[in-house]
Amino acid sequence: MTAQRSPWRFFDRIYCISLTDRSDRRASAAEEFSRVGLLAQVEFVTVRRHEENSEQGIFESHMRCIDAGLAADARNIVVFEDDVIFRRYSADTLRACIEFVSTRPWSLIFFGCLVRRSWRTENRSVLGIRYRSLAHAYAVNRPFAERFVQRRWKGVAFDAVLRSEPGPFYSAYPGFAFQSDSPTDNIKGVRIDRWRRLCGGLCRIQKMNEFYHRHQTTIIAAHILAGLAVAWLAASSFGSALR
């Protein structure tokens, strides 16, 4: 029996951004790519640390990958950052995502990120999203890439630039690409990186964000009911004390 074609073959070019002096991260990323049957397709794009502004370096590195994909006539381009780790990966989930975006307009599909809002689609493996942050694992199609790559650095972080785009944006569900707890190379993100570690790390935060927005109505209703129950018990206790 012929083995089923890898869903990663849908993407014409797959890049992974890595700083030249982070060979440790490249080795770790290579192990992760190997685990999901992707290593042979990935091209590592090594870049030097930006001498003045780490956020500008991140922005330009992502744009460099997208531009390279366009130059190679790619229709669909994937960009990873070298601290990516895969958890809950399923070829069936990725295949369902590809079938979904193949039948409608789309700009980006994230394999894992933080969102401001999410909603169901007709495909249970895909969520429509309003993007918030984390651009460590995503795919863009050529029409979006051709327009987006025209942007130039204007002092706005790459995540914020993505947030300003109208979409449509989608995310795999459940998300299967996370950022590791390797210390950030973004100098401006050191403080928030420490806070993330106190909260259990980015992998845990991303899972919690996904769970909250997927079950937001139920969670809010449960908190309201709990608050009403506490208020009722307090009122009952106060009434009993007055008798």
pLDDT tens readout for residues 152-183: 999 999 999 999 999 899 999 999 999 988 76
* Torsions phi, psi for 170 (to 5 deg): -135, 165
Long-range CB contact pairs, 116-119, < 8 A, 24+: 117/213, 118/171, 118/210, 118/213, 118/214
H or E segment to which residue 86 belongs: strand 84-86
pLDDT for 213:
85
User: H helices within 126-177, ranges in order?
Assistant: 142-148, 158-163
pLDDT tens readout for residues 126-138: 999 999 999 999 9
Beta pairing class for 177-179 and 137-141: unpaired
Query: Looking at the predicted structure, is the pLDDT value of residue 141 above 50?
Result: yes
Give the 3-state secondary structure of residue 76.
strand
* Signed CA dihedral, 97, 80, 11, 105: sign only: positive
pTM score of the predicted model: 0.85
H or E segment to which residue 220 belongs: helix 216-242
Total residues found in the chain within this entry = 243
Q: Which domains, from first to last, does the chain contain?
A: 7-209 (3.90.550)
Would you state the structure tokens that stand for residue 100, as one six-digit string? Answer: 């979904």
* Torsions phi, psi for 231 (to 5 deg): -65, -40
pLDDT tens readout for residues 169-228: 999 999 999 998 876 666 565 566 665 556 567 888 898 989 888 876 676 677 676 667
Return the C-alpha torsion angle 176, 36, 15, 55, nearest 10.
40
